[in-house]
Amino acid sequence: GQQLNQSPQSMFIQEGEDVSMNCTSSSIFNTWLWYKQDPGEGPVLLIALYKAGELTSNGRLTAQFGITRKDSFLNISASIPSDVGIYFCAGPPSGAGGTSYGKLTFGQGTILTVHP
Amino acid sequence: GAGVSQSPRYKVAKRGQDVALRCDPISGHVSLFWYQQALGQGPEFLTYFQNEAQLDKSGLPSDRFFAERPEGSVSTLKIQRTQQEDSAVYLCASSYSRLSGGWEKLFFGSGTQLSVL
């Protein structure tokens, strides 16, 4: 099946620094999603990308849908302590229709720690 | 309630015991999903319901796992004869869309953390 590889696995940064993380796949995705998961909670959607080359922002977060459709990037500017958590990329199977649209494949996550 | 509610939050089971995990989706949401999240990993799809119909159960790891949603609202994930490898967080998610194809925003619950001793 499709697999998503995230890097780095973890990051330790100082408050105020910018953060970059990425997600790659061996197969094409038609939608890229970025989620954040806080400890003891479920994932929460941050940004959704639908077209190759698309660049979308949500506050201090910016994500890009790679041209090859096999990768995506998430940047966080001017990090703050509440950015701490696990960031996941995810996507529905390409060519999925019918019953499969909510059947997401997730990466293994990037753990972000922000030091005040 | 305003969000997806799961109970219990924590469950400790002895190996071989049966467990039942409950999910209350957002009111009016047609679609319901169960995911399993092992420690240090991303969530993995288990099964999907549209109303009361279980349309995809391809992710259920064995026949010890069973899910139901008899009235198209609350869902229960049952695990029979639990094994240590079943220890994980079980996440439920719901979405509104009735449409097939395309993508729709999923709302996740906080999960049930299952520990099998």
- Supply the pLDDT for residue B1: 55
**CB contact (8 A) between residue B48 and residue A90:** no
**CB contact (8 A) between residue A102 and residue B41:** no
- Supply the pLDDT for residue A101: 62
Q: Does A106 touch chain B (CB under 8 A)?
A: yes
Residues of chain B with pLDDT under 50: 101-102
**CB contact (8 A) between residue B103 and residue A48:** yes
- Supply the pLDDT for residue B63: 96
- Supply the pLDDT for residue B23: 98
Q: What is the mean pLDDT of each run of 10 residues along chain A (116 residues)?
A: 89 97 92 94 93 95 95 97 96 61 88 95
- Supply the pLDDT for residue B99: 56
- Supply the pLDDT for residue B96: 83
Question: Looking at beta carbons, which residues of chain A come within 8 Å of B45?
Answer: 103-105
Extended strands (E) in A1-116: 4-7, 10-14, 19-25, 32-37, 44-49, 55-58, 61-65, 71-76, 85-91, 105-106, 110-115
Are B101 and B73 in contact, with CB atoms under 8 Å apart?
no
Q: Does A51 touch chain B (CB under 8 A)?
A: no
- Supply the pLDDT for residue A21: 98
Cβ-count burial A68-100 (b if 16+ within 10 Å, e if not): ebebbbbebeebeeebebbbbbbbbbeebeebb
Give the minimum alpha-carbon distance from A78 to chain B in angstroms, rounded to a whole number.
Answer: 26
Q: In this predicted model, what pLDDT tens digit does every residue of A14-47 receive, in sequence order?
A: 999 999 999 999 888 888 999 999 999 999 999 9
How many angstroms separate the CA atoms of B115 and A107, rounded? 23
Question: Looking at beta carbons, which residues of chain A come within 8 Å of B93?
Answer: 42, 102
How many angstroms separate the CA atoms of B92 and A95, rounded? 24
Contacts A–B by Cβ distance under 8 A: 71
- CA distances to B7, B14, B116 from B80, rounded to whole Å, are 17, 11, 12
- Supply the pLDDT for residue A94: 67
Question: Looking at beta carbons, which residues of chain A come within 8 Å of B105?
Answer: 45, 48
**CB contact (8 A) between residue A99 and residue B111:** no
